[in-house]
Amino acid sequence: MRTTRALTAAAAVTALAVALTACGSGSSDGGDDGTLVVGATAVPAGEVLAYVKDNLAKKAGLDLEIKEFTDYVLPNTALQEGSLGANLYQHKPFLDDFNKSKNTDLVPVTEVYLPPMGLYSEKVGDIADLPDGATVAVPNDTTNEGRAFQLLAAQGLIGLKKDAGPTAGPSDVTVNPKKLVFKELDPAQLPRSLGDVEAAVVNNNYALDAGLSPKKDSILLESAEGNPYNNVLAVKKGDEDDPRVKKLSDLLTSPEVAAFIEKKYQGSVLPAGKN
């Protein structure tokens, strides 16, 4: 299942309830000195924003409100509809694909941190020990599934068509020496699938939320070098010059936030610019 079907299904089930919660959430459309309402997944984005709110925002003259979400659809839906003034949780390839599939006009403002994607297992401690025919769970949205397949290919577990690129999927696998079987799941379900599959490629935020350490617990972790999946602060097109957004952008890329990320996540999340 790829992005259009996955996003449409998720939005149809939960959009109304969360959109109603987000509506009326504050003066995200207010004046320059109004509250900036920012959507985020709980970790690491919510924790990074909470650090900014508790330690840096007041001095910078920024009134910040954080709204947490548990999926990858509604933070963008709420941003497009105007109940959020910004969000932080996604990389640019996902944002671009979302705009294309949902006809939205959201834009990145700045890169904030890199959350490396990892392969996790409760059954083996090394990728070499994956048995023939092992089932590997992967995210079911286009860009994160492609990211997962590129991760597996980089370690020689599979081979991909030369033109597969960042949207690679099962049909792009040309070499599969272990005859791995791929199970496509909603990203939020991946940590819970570990008891049912031999391994799962899990997005960083859901791994952290499940108590996993990408740095210590993954049996395969995405390289930081040249990685294009930094998470970005995003806004609706036209709001890039909002003074509140500019203040938040400056704070999120400050040395203080970089130091917070390095200390708190110990290599499981990296400040943008470290790759």
The per-residue pLDDT for 152 is 98
Task: Judge whether residue 17 has pLDDT over 90.
Answer: no
Mean pLDDT on 120-130: 97
List the strands of the sheet with 220-221, edge to edge.
181-185, 135-139, 199-202, 118-120, 220-221
Residue with tokens 């040395």: 255
Count of other CB atoms within 10 angstroms of residue 75: 29
Ranges 31-40, 121-130, 175-184: which has the least confidence: 31-40
Query: What six digits make up the tokens of 64?
Result: 């910040």
The per-residue pLDDT for 24 is 37
**Predicted confidence band at 273 (pLDDT cuts at 50, 70, 90)?**
confident
Residues 123, 251 within the same domain: no
**Predicted confidence band at 191 (pLDDT cuts at 50, 70, 90)?**
very high
Mean pLDDT on 171-191: 98
How far apart are the C-alpha atoms of 64 and 53, rounded to whole Å?
6
Task: Judge whether residue 26 has pLDDT over 70.
Answer: no
Task: Judge whether residue 8 has pLDDT over 60.
Answer: no
pTM for this prediction: 0.88
The per-residue pLDDT for 274 is 75
Look up the CATH number of the domain holding residue 103. 3.40.190.10
Residues 36, 137 within the same domain: no
The per-residue pLDDT for 32 is 52
CB 274 within 8 A of CB 138: no
- Domain stop point among 179, 194, 221: 221
Residues 28, 107 within the same domain: yes
What distances in angstroms separate CA 172 from CA 31, 61, 149, 158, 166, one per listed residue?
49, 50, 9, 10, 11
How far apart are the C-alpha atoms of 146 and 40, rounded to whole Å?
23
Task: Judge whether residue 128 has pLDDT over 50.
Answer: yes
The per-residue pLDDT for 94 is 97
CB 40 within 8 A of CB 75: yes
Could you read off the pLDDT of 243-256 as tens digits, one per residue? Answer: 999 999 999 999 99
Query: What six digits make up the tokens of 115?
Result: 């959350």
Total number of domains in the chain: 2
Closest CA to 97 of 72, 115, 79, 114: 72
The per-residue pLDDT for 33 is 61
Average pLDDT, the chain: 90
Residues 206, 83 within the same domain: no
Which position has the higher pLDDT, 240 or 17? 240
Residues 216, 237 within the same domain: no
The per-residue pLDDT for 2 is 47
**Inter-axis angle of helices 74-81 and 92-102, to 10 degrees?**
60
Residues 130, 263 within the same domain: no
Sequence-ordered list of residues with C-beta below 8 angstroms from that of 192, at least 6 positions apart, any chain: 210
Residues 48, 173 within the same domain: no
- In the chain, the percentage of residues whose pLDDT exceeds 90 is 87
Query: What six digits make up the tokens of 149?
Result: 């397949």
How far apart are the C-alpha atoms of 111 and 257, rounded to whole Å?
13
Q: Which domain holds residue 125?
A: 118-221
**Predicted confidence band at 19 (pLDDT cuts at 50, 70, 90)?**
very low
How far apart are the C-alpha atoms of 28 and 75, rounded to whole Å?
14
Task: Judge whether residue 242 has pLDDT over 70.
Answer: yes
DSSP symbol at 23: T
Residues 215, 132 within the same domain: yes
Mean pLDDT on 188-194: 98
CB 234 within 8 A of CB 108: yes
Residues 122, 24 within the same domain: no
Could you read off the pLDDT of 200-226 as tens digits, one per residue? Answer: 999 999 999 999 999 999 999 999 999
What distances in angstroms separate CA 94 from CA 74, 98, 182, 206, one per listed residue?
13, 6, 21, 16
